[in-house]
Amino acid sequence: MATTFFRILKFGLQNFSRNGLLSATTTVIMVLAILVFNGLTIFGVISNSAVASLQDKIDISVYFKSAAPEDDIVKLEHALQSLSEVRAVEYISSEKALAIFKQNHDSDDTISQALAELQTNPLLASLNIKAKDPNMYPTIAGYLETDQLKPIIEKVTYGENKEAIDRLARIIDTVRVAGVGITIFLALVAVLVTFNTIRLAIYSNREELGVMRLVGASNKFINGPYVVAGVIYGLLAALAGIIVSTPLIVFISPYVHAFIPDLSLSAYLGSHVPQFVFYQLFFGVALGATSAAVAVRRYLKI
Amino acid sequence: MIAFNNVSKQYGDTAVLSDITFKVAPGEFISIVGKSGAGKSTIIKLLIGEDQPTRGRVLVGSYEVNKLKPDELPQLRRKVGIVFQDFKLLPTKTAYENIAFALEVEGRAQEEIEELVPQMLDLVGLADKKDNFPDELSGGMKQRVAIARAMIHRPAVIVADEPTGNLDHVNANEIMNLLLKINELGTTVVLATHSKDIVNKLRKRVVALENGKIIRDDARGNYEL
Ligand SMILES: Nc1ncnc2c1ncn2[C@@H]1O[C@H](COP(=O)(O)OP(=O)(O)OP(=O)(O)O)[C@@H](O)[C@H]1O
Ligand SMILES: [Mg+2]
């Protein structure tokens, strides 16, 4: 059993090293496939961050009548927090609202002066609600439109921002679906190109497969070495992929950071080294081995 | 030891072999002769399970070849040594490795392989070419490697389809002498050929085919058509 395994391993290494040019081309194609895979992963990270930072900008604000008792507002805040659709609720009292307003306009003398002349605080207390998913805003808005709450609520900004929020929700959904679609499509292309390259490499050896059969080799002796060679292509391609992508990611990181301030690709890479290495090795080895196993079966008739 | 019982083979509508019946005793040297297209290679293919007969039974030792499943074929192939006109060596393996391969796939121990392969290389006179790849060898040398590979697991039968077809006189004679030597050591040899010279020199049993039928079966035959 062990002898068989080591012989298959040995034949696989010979397959790889003695078909130099073929092995090199196949590995290069797999490196390209792995770079596509990396590109897609990074595209995923970027689009997720972009979506997340957009989502963060969407919210509903509920403004309360100045007579509304603070107890009722806090009660509503707790009720909202317990809703499964709600991600966060922030209570902004009228004093806090004024403080924020002052801070935002402290360079504008006219406004500062006007404020100083006011005896009472003209700003209303509000609850700022963020949903887990943009699609959930209508549900949350619906929850706020009950008769019970009417007496204390001055206005819900969802009605006014509805169109903008809905459009943003649709865009985000489209970006997600398109991202997944593009990823699946390109990954499929990369897989097919790799598979075809390995298939061609094996096709050029198809007579050998028959010869091995005639000499009494069982299937594992015929398949095995090609699968081993496929694993070697995958390992080498993954290593090359890591060596090429790492500096590229570090290079584009500042440009991406300029667009999405919440995202630093370099830092992301730094905190995901094991995943980054593992996924590429896994992708490369799985792709190489399965392609070889599937391809060699086609030529194993006799 | 080998028996064809009422074997017929059709490819589509064309009958390539019709009602072939013959037996080969252990240790015999049998030549199957006939013009090109007579069906010699087809007989060989049925014998080693590379193809199935349309009707009839093919027996080799304890195997009923026409009933073997694909995963049982390697067993048969390890009992029968096969030699072809085009050598069928593995191009990415050296002479030594090509011969060793037949033992490696059987799961033989490494020490045994390291002992047997050099012996066989000596026997076919290629000890000094053991590390050469097939495309670094002459046709005659390639065929000797192929014979060494076929012989390495001491099969009861050697099957050779036109083994001298790609060789000149001198090399062809060498290969025939090798096959005779192997036969003298007790191995059954089944030879398919259309070479009159070779068959007449052998003075062994000849089965003559014409249009897929046996037209003669002589114990000490000549190639006459
Ligand atoms: N796979 C196949 N499909 C269809 N016809 C076939 C096939 N293999 C062989 N034949 C036909 O069977 C006949 C006998 O072929 P075979 O190869 O047995 O001849 P042969 O006696 O070995 O000839 P040669 O001396 O040229 O090698 C030929 O007419 C050939 O065309
Ligand atoms: Mg033939």
pLDDT tens for each residue of chain A, 302 residues long: 788 899 999 999 998 999 888 889 889 988 988 888 888 888 888 877 877 777 777 788 888 888 878 888 888 888 888 888 888 888 888 888 888 888 887 777 787 777 777 777 778 888 888 888 777 888 888 887 877 777 788 888 875 666 776 777 788 778 778 888 887 888 788 788 888 888 888 888 888 888 998 888 888 899 899 999 999 999 999 999 999 999 998 898 888 888 777 788 888 888 888 988 998 899 899 989 998 888 888 877 64
In Å, how far are A98, A117, A124, A290, B209 from A113, measured between CA atoms? Answer: 14, 6, 20, 74, 119
Mean pLDDT over residues B191-196, rounded? 90
Burial of A296: CB neighbours in 10 Å, binned 0-12, 13-18, 19+: buried
With 80 as the cut, is the pLDDT of residue B96 above it?
yes
- For tokens 């307003």, name the residue: A101
Most B CBs within 10 A among A10, A215, A223, A297, hence the mutation to make, goes to A215
pLDDT digits (tens, 9 = 90+) for B118-143: 999 999 999 999 999 999 999 999 99
Q: What beta strand segments (E) does chain A contain?
A: 60-64, 86-92, 126-131, 153-156
N- to C-terminal Cα separation, chain B: 28
Which top CATH class is A58-160?
alpha beta
Q: Would you kindly state where each structural domain of chain A is located, as residue ranges?
A: 2-54+165-299, 58-160
What whole-number distance in Å separates Cα of residue A7 and Cα of residue A28?
Answer: 27
Q: Is residue A211 less than 8 Å (CB to CB) from chain B?
A: yes
pLDDT digits (tens, 9 = 90+) for B161-181: 999 998 999 999 999 999 999
Nearest-5° Cα angle at A253, A247 to A256: 145
Q: In this predicted structure, what is the pLDDT of residue A59?
A: 80
N- to C-terminal Cα separation, chain A: 25
CB pairs under 8 A between A and B: 55
What whole-number distance in Å separates Cα of residue A193 and Cα of residue A188?
Answer: 9
Residue among B50, B82, B91 minimizing CB distance to A302: B50
- For tokens 């500042």, name the residue: A254
Ligand number with the minimum distance to the CA of B16: 1
B41, B48, B52, B209: residue to mutate for ligand 1 pocket, most atoms within 8 A of CB: B41
- For tokens 């003075």, name the residue: B203
ipTM: 0.85
Nearest to B217 by CA among B11, B6, B31, B16: B31
Mean of pLDDT over chain B: 92
Q: Token pair for residue A193?
A: 């190109």
Three-state SS sequence of chain B = CEEEEEEEEEECCEEEEEEEEEEECCCCEEEEECCCCCCHHHHHHHHCCCCCCCEEEEEECCEEHHHCCHHHHHHHHHHEEEEECCCCCCCCCCHHHHHHHHHHCCCCCHHHHHHHHHHHHHHCCCHHHCCCCHHHCCHHHHHHHHHHHHHCCCCCEEEEECCCCCCCHHHHHHHHHHHHHHHHCCCEEEEEECCHHHHHHHCCEEEEEECCEEEEEECCCCCCC
B17, B31, B42, B43: residue to mutate for ligand 1 pocket, most atoms within 8 A of CB: B42
Q: In this predicted structure, what is the pLDDT of residue A302?
A: 41
What whole-number distance in Å separates Cα of residue A30 and Cα of residue A33?
Answer: 5
Nearest to B182 by CA among B148, B138, B205, B221: B148
Q: In this predicted structure, what is the pLDDT of residue A228?
A: 94
Contact A154, A63 (CB under 8 A): yes
Q: In this predicted structure, what is the pLDDT of residue A195?
A: 86
Do strands B2-11 and B14-24 pair parallel, antiparallel, or not at all (unpaired)?
Answer: antiparallel
Q: In this predicted structure, what is the pLDDT of residue A178?
A: 85
Q: In this predicted structure, what is the pLDDT of residue A5?
A: 92
pLDDT digits (tens, 9 = 90+) for B2-50: 999 999 999 999 999 999 999 999 999 999 999 999 999 999 999 999 9
How many other CB atoms are found less than 10 A from the CB of residue B102? Answer: 26
Burial of B223: CB neighbours in 10 Å, binned 0-12, 13-18, 19+: buried
Q: Token pair for residue A249?
A: 């990611």
Q: In this predicted structure, what is the pLDDT of residue B184?
A: 94
Kindly identify which residue of chain A lies nearest to residue B111, measuring between CA atoms: A3
Kindly identify which residue of chain A lies nearest to residue B133, measuring between CA atoms: A18
In Å, how far are A33, A104, A226, A276, B142 from A39, measured between CA atoms? Answer: 10, 41, 28, 12, 50
What whole-number distance in Å separates Cα of residue B34 and Cα of residue B40?
Answer: 7
What whole-number distance in Å separates Cα of residue A234 and Cα of residue A232?
Answer: 5
Mean pLDDT over residues B86-104, rounded? 94
